[in-house]
């Protein structure tokens, strides 16, 4: 995790770095720091979030600098472990995103040679290695190349030296993108900090080392000079702003009708690899919300297309026998989740065809997978996934549609209108039941089981209320012991073959004293009778029912967290992009 940024140009670097780091905070936010070069290296770094208290970080002088926002791995979050880290001479500063697996061995070696360490991080070893190499040859790109050749693990790093115009960037398994402006160059973990300055970007590859000045970028790979394409990005600056909403999360929830529609349109003529027509095995790997989207897909694939699929947490994939052939789909909003990347690499090694579903142009997964389908969600800033989840469902539903000979095209093209209706609903009664809950159970069956899992995940992430998603039939196998008037149950009860058994389940839960909030089809006459709150959803088909139920659960989590005054966009202990295994 962690977000890094570099700037070199004609302007003062510090204010640009501070604003850029605020946009990268979704990658971690337990401490921050920046370093600028203005004759000497100046560093300001602190525990806490830059968006809460940047202090005087923006006042540093110098037209080139680097910055970092941290999600701690090695060393607790405090001032001394915050990046940038500097060498013994204070002439070199470095920021790093990733993990150096052999840092303990390197550290011992460096200490023996007289280096003094001032932090508990793995990163500090790198800056001392660069220091040694730079002393030998006074060539910063070459010194960084020699230093990184000693590293095992993952890194995106930026190196700034007091007597060099060049900032050096290096990448291995952590993202890094260059923004080419007008006499200024940006380097960052993603494109969001550079959106307001340029639309021309270069994505670095693993193993690349870039020497960056304000007017020039030279990229080296295996000591050879290489060219990487300049790509144009189509995310707008406005996409990255709150636009009058109280939080990014609610803004992103309200963008969902458009996001769903754009993604359906954007994937309409996506050509599916032959694998879709062959009935080869399909495996889905993902983490977090993306895993829940994968589970919805698995149910729909089996129900609508009679195609069986295997679904694994990406982090568990390697512990089961890998599929020997077929298609492996990696779903990852960021395109950078380490476990999903590892799973896809393993799948490739077993000769499977790999398909990535991602939101981020140029992200690592797009370089790894044989085929990529893009979601059209635009930048998602809030840590809790909302519009990216809906966009994943759009891509996955489009795949189902293709499988079924485009039979569902009209339904999918119209589904955004049902999402719009849900956004207007009043859910205050539900929020009143949830805000004082000790625990909340979310239950559903079939494809509504993963929707329940996703609803519970949203609630626990942002409200800090314990919430569990359960397959409705499982609740009586243990969790019933927890039911009481302080444990509301949110039941997804849609028409269809599971309806009657869901009604029985709801009655059982009511009989144990739990308030029940039922989410069902508009016009249902049973549910209002037996439940404390009934939320009627528009949507006459399985696709819109899944989408609208998802959105209602997002709203319930959001408004509960809002009532409790939680830090909705930056929940404690989390990061949006988990780039460590």
**The two three-digit tokens of residue 179, written as one number:** 């923004």
Query: Distance between CA atoms of 73 and 568, rounded to whole angstroms?
Result: 23
**Which is closer to ligand G6P, CB of 172 or CB of 457?**
457
**DSSP category for residue 209:** E
d(CA 564, CA 544): 30
Stretch that binds ligand G6P, among 44-52, 305-313, 329-337, 416-424 (CB under 6 A): 329-337
Question: In which element (H, E) is residue 218 found?
Answer: strand 217-221
Q: Does 173 bind ligand G6P (CB under 6 A)?
A: no
Give the nearest distance from C-beta 482 to ligand G6P in angstroms. 25
554 binds ligand G6P per the rule CB under 6 A? no
The span from the CA of 460 to the CA of 469, in Å, is: 11
Residue 383 lies near ligand G6P (rule: CB under 6 A): yes
Question: Other C-beta atoms within 10 Å of 123: how many?
Answer: 27
287, 422, 475, 546: residue in contact with ligand G6P (rule CB under 6 A): 287
Segment near ligand G6P (CB under 6 A); pick from 128-136, 334-342, 438-446, 512-520 = 334-342
Looking at the Cβ atoms of 26 and 103, the one nearer to ligand G6P is 26
| Residue 289 lies near ligand G6P (rule: CB under 6 A) | yes
Part of the chain binding ligand G6P (CB under 6 A), chosen from 15-23, 95-103, 242-250, 283-291: 283-291
Counting contacts by CB under 6 A, is residue 578 touching ligand G6P?
yes
Q: What is the nearest approach in angstroms of ligand G6P to the Cβ of residue 452?
A: 16
Q: How far apart are CA 406 and CA 27, in angstroms?
A: 38
H or E segment and range at residue 112: helix 103-112
For 494, half-sphere exposure in the C-beta direction (CA atoms, 13 angstrom radius) is 25
Interface residues for ligand G6P in 509-528 (CB under 6 A)?
none
- As a residue count, the chain comes to 581
Q: Which two tokens stand for residue 358?
A: 């991602």
Nearest distance from C-beta of residue 336 to ligand G6P, angstroms: 6
Selected from 337, 411, 439, 550, the binder of ligand G6P by CB under 6 A is 337
Per CB under 6 A, the list member of 333, 382, 545, 560 interacting with ligand G6P is 333
Q: Any contact of residue 393 with ligand G6P (CB under 6 A)? A: no
Report which residue's Cβ sits closest to ligand G6P.
Answer: 288
31 is a site residue for ligand G6P (CB under 6 A): no
180 touches ligand G6P by CB under 6 A: no
Under rule CB under 6 A, residue 334 binds ligand G6P: yes
Beta bridge partners of 169: 158, 210
Between residues 285 and 502, which has the closer beta carbon with respect to ligand G6P? 285
Closer residue to ligand G6P, CB minimum distance, 54 or 377: 377
- Per CB under 6 A, does 576 bind ligand G6P? yes
539: left (phi over 0), alpha (psi -120 to 50) or beta: left
How many C-beta atoms lie closer than 10 Å to residue 281's C-beta? 17
- Contact yes or no for 441/569 (Cβ under 8 A): no
C-alpha torsion sign, points 167, 168, 174, 179 = positive
Tell me how far the alpha carbon of residue 353 is from its chain's centroid.
24
Size of the residue set binding ligand G6P (CB under 6 A) = 15
Q: Establish if 456 lies at the interface with ligand G6P (CB under 6 A).
A: no
385 binds ligand G6P (CB under 6 A): yes
- Closest approach of ligand G6P to the CB of residue 550, in Å: 13
Indicate which single residue of 288, 294, 323, 446 sits in contact with ligand G6P (rule: CB under 6 A).
Answer: 288
Q: Please name the residues in contact with 489: beta carbons below 8 A apart, sequence gap of 6 or more.
A: 440, 441, 442, 443, 475, 483, 506, 509, 514, 515, 516, 517
Q: Which of 290, 401, 544, 579 binds ligand G6P (CB under 6 A)?
A: 290
Say if CB 286 and CB 293 are below 8 A apart.
yes
Would residue 279 show up in a list of annotated catalytic residues for this protein? no
Taking CB under 6 A as the rule, does residue 463 contact ligand G6P?
no
Cα 524 to the center of its chain, rounded Å = 37
Contact region for ligand G6P (CB under 6 A) — 33-41, 327-335, 427-435, 514-522?
A: 327-335
How far is it, in rounded angstroms, from Cα 342 to Cα 325? 17
When the beta carbons of 42 and 289 are compared against ligand G6P, the nearer one is 289
* Other Cβ atoms closer than 10 A to 204: 23
> Do residues 68 and 119 lie in contact, with contact meaning Cβ atoms separated by under 8 Å?
no
Q: Is 434 a catalytic residue?
A: no
Residues that bind ligand G6P (CB under 6 A): 287-290, 332-334, 337, 340, 383, 385, 574, 576-578
| Residues with catalytic function | 2, 576
């Amino acid at each position: 995790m962690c977000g890094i940024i570099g700037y070199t140009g004609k302007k003062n670097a510090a204010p640009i770095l501070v604003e850029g780091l605020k946009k990268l905070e979704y990658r971690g936010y337990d401490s921050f720091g920046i370093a600028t070069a203005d004759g000497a290296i100046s560093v300001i770094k602190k525990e806490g979030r830059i968006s809460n208290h940047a202090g005087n970080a923006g006042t540093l002088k110098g037209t080139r600098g680097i910055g970092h926002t941290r999600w701690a791995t090695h060393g607790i979050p405090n001032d001394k472990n915050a990046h940038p880290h500097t060498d013994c001479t204070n002439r070199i500063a470095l920021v790093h995103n990733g993990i150096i697996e052999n840092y303990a061995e390197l550290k011992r070696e460096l200490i023996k040679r007289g280096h003094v360490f001032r932090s508990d991080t793995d990163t500090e070893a790198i800056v001392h290695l660069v220091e040694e190499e730079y002393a030998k040859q006074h060539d910063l790109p070459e010194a960084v190349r020699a230093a990184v050749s000693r590293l095992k693990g993952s890194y995106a790093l930026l190196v700034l030296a007091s007597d060099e115009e060049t900032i050096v960037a290096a990448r291995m398994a952590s993202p890094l993108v260059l923004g080419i402006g007008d006499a200024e160059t940006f380097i960052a973990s993603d494109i969001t900090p550079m959106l307001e300055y340029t639309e021309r970007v270069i994505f670095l590859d693993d193993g690349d080392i870039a020497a960056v000045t304000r007017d020039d970028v030279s990229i080296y790979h295996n000591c050879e000079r290489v060219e990487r394409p300049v790509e144009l990005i189509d995310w707008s600056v406005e996409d990255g702003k709150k636009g009058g909403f109280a939080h990014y999360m609610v803004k992103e929830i309200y963008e969902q009708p458009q996001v769903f529609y754009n993604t359906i349109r954007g994937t309409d003529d996506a050509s599916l690899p032959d694998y879709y027509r062959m009935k080869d095995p399909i495996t889905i790997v993902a983490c977090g919300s993306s895993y829940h989207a994968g589970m919805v897909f698995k149910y729909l694939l089996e129900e609508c297309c009679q195609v069986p699929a295997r679904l694994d947490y990406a982090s568990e994939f390697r512990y089961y026998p890998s599929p020997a052939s077929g298609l492996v789909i990696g779903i990852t909003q960021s395109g950078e989740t380490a476990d999903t990347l590892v799973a896809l690499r393993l799948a490739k090694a077993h000769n499977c065809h790999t398909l990535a579903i991602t939101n981020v142009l140029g992200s690592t997964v797009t370089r790894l997978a044989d085929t990529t389908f893009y979601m059209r969600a635009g930048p998602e800033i809030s840590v809790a996934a909302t519009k990216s989840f809906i966009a994943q469902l759009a891509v996955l539903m489009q795949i189902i549609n293709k499988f079924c000979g485009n039979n569902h095209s009209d339904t999918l093209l119209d589904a955004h209108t049902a999402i719009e209706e849900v956004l207007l609903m009043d859910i205050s009664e539900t929020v009143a039941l949830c805000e004082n809950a000790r625990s909340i159970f979310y239950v559903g069956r079939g494809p509504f089981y993963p929707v329940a899992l996703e609803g519970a995940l949203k609630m626990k992430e942002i409200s800090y209320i314990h919430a569990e998603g359960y397959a409705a039939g499982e609740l009586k196998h243990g969790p019933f012991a927890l039911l009481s008037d302080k444990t509301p149950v949110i039941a997804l009860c849609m028409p269809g073959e599971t309806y009657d058994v869901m009604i029985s389940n709801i009655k059982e839960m009511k009989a144990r004293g739990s308030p029940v909030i039922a989410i069902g089809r508009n016009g249902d006459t049973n549910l209002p009778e037996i439940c404390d709150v009934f939320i009627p959803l528009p949507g006459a088909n399985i696709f819109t029912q899944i989408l609208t139920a998802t959105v209602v659960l997002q709203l319930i989590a959001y408004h509960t967290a809002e009532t409790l005054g939680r830090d909705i966009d930056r929940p404690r202990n989390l990061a949006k992009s988990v780039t460590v295994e």
